């Protein structure tokens, strides 16, 4: 059985020195993941009074005992985002409890910034600069040993929590499943040579049972082996599905080379293949141990593929309520990947309903793909699907029109309608927007849904 990834099913605990911003960042991460937020210093003050007073009247040792108790109680609850006091991890008992129940992210801050933020705060351990510096140096070593991820803002925390990193260098001895077209354009950077290389067709042609069967038969790795998926969303889909099923599950790493893969498809643990009855109808949730993002791969991306990726970027911006498409490329990718990580952490296996938000526009998109015999590109279909979803939501379509410039496509309306009716979210169920940043899952009358679909088909 493959061990749990990152903060899935665990608390997400933020540690770091005074002034790192754990409370501010923790609240933002809690909102993004729809998890409860616990600030251990605030909990102590609620129960026992101001921390400076505790230090003065009862001493630091008593404060540490109270802190240890509050952290233990928080860790005994359901998965939450925890902001730990700067010295909480000095306790070996607390460190052991965190190791068992939490994914720990080190919120970093340099010494000068930390001092500037807290020197006039009245904190008992921030009254003398030289003492402050000694404490900072002492705790760095503890933070470094305990940290499972690190960063200085909410985006970095969310990426760390699902093991999403900006790198293409892999330290693994692995079987590499690689898009045959991508193999001719890029060389996978690895610290060790691959155990074996397994080319697969480009695009949806990779997502077939025949390809899966070939990979099952050709792989020669054990239960402790790794699979690396190197290519676009179809490659990560099929490689992840093989990783989920080979020897009842082996670890895998996703290295997406397309914009769609970097901002959406490679993140979240959904793996699958297509069958005659529809796309992605055979699959499994099997989270990659790591998702390695390297925007330099995008230099060779065809314009059609870039437009497909931008459709997912615009979708993410609409869901998040901010124009992420206006950011510089790497920052845009980071923002989109972090947003998806937050949603996935809130609903890893689509049991709470929130993860369905990521299907904004996709019910119409999948219908158009089917109605066109899959001649309409996925990105083009998503752009049109966003237009339909926004119209049904009573929201402006300006961003989609300006960034993606979708045009109606040739498709068989009856085939498209039949595909829409059997959509896996459930008949008549759509993701719409009450407002930018406020997605909802709701029912739409057949007449309205069909009219919206028909408006996307060239007459």
What strands lie across the sheet with 81-83, from one edge to the other? 37-39, 81-83, 11-15, 102-107, 149-151
For residue 215 the two structure tokens come to: 């990979």
Place of tokens 């754990």: 22
Ranges assigned E (strand) in 206-350 = 226-231, 251-256, 270-275, 278-285, 290-292
3-state SS, residue 321: coil
Q: For residues 7 and 344, is the Cβ–Cβ distance under 8 A?
A: no
Provide the annotated active-site residues.
248, 270, 312, 340, 350, 355, 359, 362, 366, 378
Place of tokens 């990193």: 165
Q: Among 419, 427, 413, which residue's Cα sits nearest to residue 276?
A: 419
CA distance 198 to 240: 14
- Cα of 287 vs its chain's centroid, Å: 10
CA distance 330 to 396: 27
Q: Which long-range contacts (CB under 8 A, 24 or more apart) does 22-29 make?
A: 22/83, 22/84, 22/107, 23/83, 25/83, 25/107, 25/153, 25/154, 25/157, 26/81, 26/82, 26/83, 28/154, 29/81, 29/154, 29/157, 29/158, 29/342
Q: For residues 196 and 176, is the Cβ–Cβ distance under 8 A?
A: yes
CA distance 161 to 10: 10
For residue 21 the two structure tokens come to: 């911003």
Q: Among 108, 121, 139, which residue's Cα sits nearest to residue 20?
A: 108
Residue partners of 132: CB distance under 8 A and separation at least 6: 18, 114, 115, 119, 125, 126
CA distance 389 to 383: 10
Cross-strand partners of 14: 83, 105
Q: For residues 308 and 261, is the Cβ–Cβ distance under 8 A?
A: no
């Amino acid at each position: 059985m493959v061990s749990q990834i990152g903060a899935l099913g665990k608390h997400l605990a933020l540690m770091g020195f005074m002034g790192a911003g754990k409370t501010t960042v923790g609240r933002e991460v809690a909102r993004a993941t729809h998890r409860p937020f616990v600030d251990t210093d605030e909990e102590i003050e609620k129960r026992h009074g101001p921390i400076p007073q505790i230090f003065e009247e009862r001493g630091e040792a008593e404060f540490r005992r109270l802190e240890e108790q509050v952290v233990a109680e928080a860790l005994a609850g359901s998965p939450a985002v925890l902001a730990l006091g700067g010295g909480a991890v000095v306790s070996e008992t607390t460190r052991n409890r965190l190791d068992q129940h939490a994914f720990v992210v080190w919120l970093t801050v340099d010494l000068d910034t930390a001092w500037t933020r807290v020197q006039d705060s009245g904190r008992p351990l921030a009254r003398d600069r030289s003492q402050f510096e000694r404490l900072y140096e002492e705790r760095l070593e503890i933070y470094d040993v305990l940290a499972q991820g690190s960063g200085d803002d909410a985006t970095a925390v969310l990426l760390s929590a699902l093991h999403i990193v900006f790198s293409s260098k892999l330290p693994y001895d692995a079987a590499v499943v690689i898009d045959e077209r991508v193999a001719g354009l890029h060389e996978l950077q690895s610290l060790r040579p691959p155990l074996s290389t397994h080319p697969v067709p480009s695009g949806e042609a990779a997502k077939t049972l025949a390809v899966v069967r070939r990979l099952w038969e050709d792989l020669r790795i054990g239960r402790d082996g790794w699979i690396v998926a190197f290519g676009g969303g179809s490659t990560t889909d099929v490689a992840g599905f093989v990783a989920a099923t080979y020897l009842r599950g082996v670890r895998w790493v996703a290295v997406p080379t397309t914009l769609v893969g970097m901002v959406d498809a490679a993140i979240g643990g959904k793996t699958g293949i297509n069958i005659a009855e529809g796309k992605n109808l055979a699959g499994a949730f099997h989270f990659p141990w790591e998702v390695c993002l390297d925007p330099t791969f995008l230099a060779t991306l065809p314009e059609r593929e870039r437009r497909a990726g931008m459709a997912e970027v615009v979708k993410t911006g609409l869901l998040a309520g901010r124009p992420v498409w206006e950011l510089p490329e790497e920052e845009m990718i980071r923002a989109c990947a972090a947003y998806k990580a937050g949603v996935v952490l809130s609903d890893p296996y689509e049991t709470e309903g929130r993860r369905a938000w990521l299907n904004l526009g996709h019910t119409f998109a999948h219908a158009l793909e089917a109605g066109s015999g899959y001649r309409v590109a996925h990105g083009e279909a998503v752009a049109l699907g966003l237009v339909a979803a926004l119209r049904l939501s009573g929201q402006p379509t300006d961003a989609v029109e300006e960034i993606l410039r979708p045009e109606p496509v040739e498709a068989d309306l009856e085939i498209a309608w039949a595909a829409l009716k059997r959509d896996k979210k459930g008949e008549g169920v759509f993701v719409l927007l009450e407002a930018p940043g406020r997605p909802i899952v709701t029912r739409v009358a057949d007449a309205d849904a069909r009219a919206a679909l028909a408006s996307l088909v060239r007459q």
